[in-house]
Amino acid sequence: MTEVILATSDRAVVPVHALYDGDLVGFLEAGPAFVKAFVETADFKAKAGQVLVLPNSAGATDRVLFGLGASPADVMVFRALPAKLPMGDYQLAGTPAGLSADQVALAFALGSYRFDRYKQKKTAERPRLVVDGVDIAEITSIAHACALARDMVNTPANDLGPLQLETIAREIAEQHGASITVITGDGLLEANYPSVHAVGRAAVEARAPRMIEMTWGEAGKPLVCLVGKGVV
């Protein structure tokens, strides 16, 4: 997944005005007349997820208006923003009341996800958001984790079977220093998983069922156990 949250940019940064519907009139009255005329012509009402790109005299993007709907807004409305922006770097003109910059940044990053595994023409570039004072590493890590999960959900079973899931799990374990145990074949009987063994007894090797267990963390810290089941 392309990095879309930045602390700074060496490009021209376009301001994004995120507006509640109740604040639109006051915003327009305080701004230049051409913006008000453009907004009225485009019928922009600051509805949740509504985007209006305002050009400058040269036709390039000058500023962006983004609708939040009624206050208070669900911060996840910002997931709709990346797909509606031209390529470039953007920055909020101000964090909307009731929302935090890190929440906005995470929602923007989640909205930048694209499943393009089967597309012949792939575009790695995405609109990017410049945000100051947030933990970019944490936000990016969460977004990458969600993107990986969504990739696995979106990939059909003929391309993502038990063997491929094991490969992904081993890559994650190696990357993050986790221990991993994979039980297959008759080992499932020995580990008291007779039903799992029976279901896949006639499967080819790549489709043979397996029990994958990853362990990560420090002794003495709170224990969280996540259990998932895939049927392919």
Q: Could you tell me the CATH number of the domain that includes residue 104?
A: 3.40.220.10
Claim to verify: residue 220 and residue 167 sit in the same structural domain: yes
Question: Residue 46 domain-assigned?
Answer: yes
Mean pLDDT in each 10-residue stretch from start to end of the chain (232 residues)? 90 96 95 92 96 91 96 93 96 94 97 94 90 96 96 94 94 96 95 91 86 93 87 58
Residue-level pLDDT at 181: 97
Residue-level pLDDT at 232: 55
Claim to verify: residue 109 and residue 215 sit in the same structural domain: no
Residue-level pLDDT at 1: 67
Question: Residue 149 domain-assigned?
Answer: no
Question: Residue 150 domain-assigned?
Answer: no
Give the residue from 94, 112, 144 where a domain finishes: 144
Residue-level pLDDT at 231: 62
Residue-level pLDDT at 141: 96
Which pTM was predicted?
0.89
Residue-level pLDDT at 228: 84
The domain of 198 spans 156-232
DSSP conformation letters of the chain? ----EES--SS-EEEEEEEEGGGHHHHHHHS-HHHHHHHHHHT----TT-EEEEE-TTSSEEEEEEEEESSSPPGGGGGGSGGGS-SSEEEESSPPTT--HHHHHHHHHHHT----TT-SS------EEE-SSS-HHHHHHHHHHHHHHHHHHHS-TTTS-HHHHHHHHHHHHHHHT-EEEEEETTHHHHTT-HHHHHHTTTS-GGG--EEEEEE-S-TTSPP---------
